[in-house]
Amino acid sequence: MIIKKKILILAGGVSKERLISLETGKQVANELKKNKYKVLMCEPDNTLLQKIKLFNPNIIFNALHGQFGEDGYIQAILEAQKIPYTHSGVIASSIAMDKVISKKIFIKNNILTPKYIKFNNNKKRINVIKSIEKKLNFPVVIKPVNEGSSVHVYICNKKNIIKKLNQLSFYDEILIEEFIPGREIQVAIMGNKNLGVIELKPKRKFYDYEAKYNINAKTEHIIPVNLDKKDLKKITDITSKAHRVIGCRGITRSDFKFYKGKFFLLEINTQPGMTKLSLVPEIASYAGISFIKLIEWILKDASINR
* Residue 231, domain member (yes or no): yes
Q: Please, which contacts does 76-79 make with residues 24 or more away whose CB atoms are closer than 8 Å?
A: 77/44, 77/48, 77/49, 79/304, 79/305, 79/306
H or E element in which residue 240 lies: helix 229-246
Terminal Cα distance for the chain, rounded: 21
Arithmetic mean of pLDDT, 257-276: 94
Residues 40 and 20 in one domain: yes
Q: CATH number for the domain including 169?
A: 3.30.1490.20
Arithmetic mean of pLDDT, 64-80: 91
- Between CA 295 and CA 227 the distance in angstroms is 29
Residues 73 and 27 in one domain: yes
The DSSP bridge partners found for residue 124 are none
* Residue 303, domain member (yes or no): no
Amino acid 17: pLDDT: 86
Q: From residue 210, give the alpha-carbon distance in Å to each of 11, 16, 213.
A: 21, 13, 5
Has residue 53 got a pLDDT over 80? yes
The whole-chain average pLDDT of the chain stands at: 89
- Between CA 90 and CA 305 the distance in angstroms is 9
Confidence tier at 205 by pLDDT (50, 70, 90): low
Arithmetic mean of pLDDT, 89-103: 95
Q: CATH number for the domain including 31?
A: 3.40.50.20
Arithmetic mean of pLDDT, 249-264: 96
Arithmetic mean of pLDDT, 181-194: 95
* Residues carrying an active site annotation: 17, 149, 213, 253, 255, 267, 269, 273
Q: How wide is the angle at C-alpha 185 spanned by C-alphas 87 and 306, nearest 5°? A: 15
Which amino acid belongs to residue 121?
Answer: N
Amino acid 151: pLDDT: 67
Residues 172 and 43 in one domain: no
* Residue 201, domain member (yes or no): yes
Q: How many domains does the chain fold into?
A: 3
Residues 99 and 208 in one domain: yes
The order of strands in the sheet holding 251-259 is 220-222, 193-201, 183-190, 251-259, 262-269
Amino acid 226: pLDDT: 96
Range of the structural domain that residue 28 is part of: 6-86
Has residue 216 got a pLDDT over 90? no
Amino acid 213: pLDDT: 46
